[in-house]
Structure 1
């Protein structure tokens, strides 16, 4: 965990999903595509969201949910990520500094695009979706309230990962859990930093989420009509533009490691 002010932070529970780069159809009909985008583009409070374009290997049948976050910590300081312009065949992504004033020469941003839906995968319950509720989602301030994700069919609190999708408020923000977190409800906020000012009011945002029973193994549906598409990757020492070109990651000198 990284505080915007680099302060101490108590222990938290962290949910995670691990997906190999490439495109697959999972059991339960989940279409998933994942990758890593190397970016030196930074959004700061008050600026327009100008991200780097990512093109899907194949278009989704509807707008996917995109989970995203930094895979590297090259700047040794605070930095988040944002996604914008989500379409069935592409989206844009970049770093999010908001009002912190932090810099980076470049970071790798991991992303997972998932088809929305609910059901069972590998005999485990899942829910994938996105929504905004028309209410301001800031952490504190008059008129601010949590965005409530309603969960159904879970017997215990699931592992849930949430990201802001198609961010709109130019102050910049990232998804933060808080309040109720159980088998039926997950409350989330659009959190801003408090460095430039103490105001954490934030406009309504669209949140994307993926909830799975804990310890779910995501298996490829080998009977799917569309076969999995594996992205080619470069070996150590081969030239690269970003980490999508490599089996590992792309170094600052432009070679795979």
Structure 2
């Protein structure tokens, strides 16, 4: 049954504790569409492809992790940004976006859902705004076994930086582009750090610190949050929720 757009936004704001985060973009309703929301589509990123799929599916709102209006980007609504926003406005389609609050939520967050895929739950947090997580596997596995587990769950082959046959048990992780967290993670009592992306320095830091690094894909590690939040909202408001998968190898 339909839910009022403002009621939906207020609930998500409170559920994700949006106000406690300093973020690089606005969290919440980014583009206003029709007021009643009966069908909600979720996607990782508000790309034109995702917007067009949501319109085709008859959605009243699109909920994403990566929305618009990032700090440091050009403010002009031209070219690709114009095409995306024009499509939303023409269809009267709401766009909701939640970035760091969706990374960090203990139940439906990207870190929580990635931990579930790896078979580990967080017992310690670190890094900027405590976004990084650390936990212990119930039984040790090799790096390659953990990589295979992630590949099976996400469909993407992780990049392994470090000895693949090393046995590990204590894991740190943060989804998406959190390779900068590796500087601090490498000083913690962990065997392996998992994120979405890698950078040039990571190869050397992994070798010198003895902490293996797995880059499992920015998109692949951040599919869980929007899907889990969509499932939660479907149950909470009796909404029709669909997930849109727009493949991304990064």
Question: Fold match, TM over 0.5?
Answer: no
Structure 1 or 2: larger strand share? Answer: 1
Structure 1 or 2: larger helix share? Answer: 2
TM norm structure 2 = 0.24
TM norm structure 1 = 0.23
